[in-house]
Amino acid sequence: MRLGVLDVGSNTIHLLVVDAHPGARPLPAHSHKVELRLAELLDGHGAVTPEGMERLVSVLADAVQAAEDKGCEDLLPFATSAVREATNADEVLARVKAETGLDLPILSGEDEARLTFLAARRWFGWSAGRLLVLDIGGGSLEIACGIDEEPDAAVSLPLGAGRLTSGWLPADPADPADVKALRRHARAQIARSVGVFSRFGAPDHVVATSKTFRQLARIAGAARSADGLYVQRDLTRKSLEEWVPRLAAMTIAQRSTLPGVSDGRAGQLLAGALVAEGAMDLLGVEELEICPWALREGVILRRLDHLPS
Q: Give a yes or no: residue 100 inside a domain.
A: yes
pLDDT of residue 285: 98
Mean of the pLDDT values across residues 66-77?
96
- State which of 78, 106, 134 marks the end of a domain: 106
pLDDT one-digit tens code per residue, 12-36: 999 999 998 888 889 999 999 999 8
Q: Give a yes or no: residue 219 inside a domain.
A: yes
Q: How confident is the model at residue 309 (pLDDT cuts 50, 70, 90)?
A: low
Q: What share of the chain is helix, strand, coil (3-state, %, to 5)?
A: 50, 20, 30
Are both 268 and 204 inside the same structural domain?
A: yes
**Is 155:242 a contact under the CB 8 Å cutoff?**
no
Are both 145 and 259 inside the same structural domain?
A: yes
Q: How confident is the model at residue 80 (pLDDT cuts 50, 70, 90)?
A: very high
Cα–Cα dist 202/174, whole Å: 35
CATH of the domain at 131: 3.30.420.150
- State which of 53, 87, 106 marks the end of a domain: 106
pLDDT of residue 39: 81
Q: Give a yes or no: residue 177 inside a domain.
A: yes
Mean of the pLDDT values across residues 89-100?
96
Q: Give a yes or no: residue 309 inside a domain.
A: no
Q: How confident is the model at residue 174 (pLDDT cuts 50, 70, 90)?
A: very high
Q: Which residue segment(s) compose the domain that 99 sits in?
A: 2-106
What is the chain's mean pLDDT, rounded? 95
Using left for φ > 0, alpha for ψ between -120 and 50, and beta otherwise, residue 71 falls in left
Are both 140 and 154 inside the same structural domain?
A: yes
CA dist 279 to 123, 133, 218, 242, Å?
A: 22, 11, 18, 16
Q: Is the pTM here over 0.85, yes or no?
A: yes
First to last CA, the chain: 13
Radius of gyration of the chain (CA): 19
Q: Would you tell me the crossing angle of helices 89-100 and 50-69 to the nearest 10 degrees? A: 40
pLDDT one-digit tens code per residue, 203-234: 999 999 999 999 999 999 999 999 999 999 99
The number of folded domains in the chain is 2
Are both 180 and 54 inside the same structural domain?
A: no
Are both 198 and 275 inside the same structural domain?
A: yes
Q: Give a yes or no: residue 276 inside a domain.
A: yes
**Is 133:141 a contact under the CB 8 Å cutoff?**
no
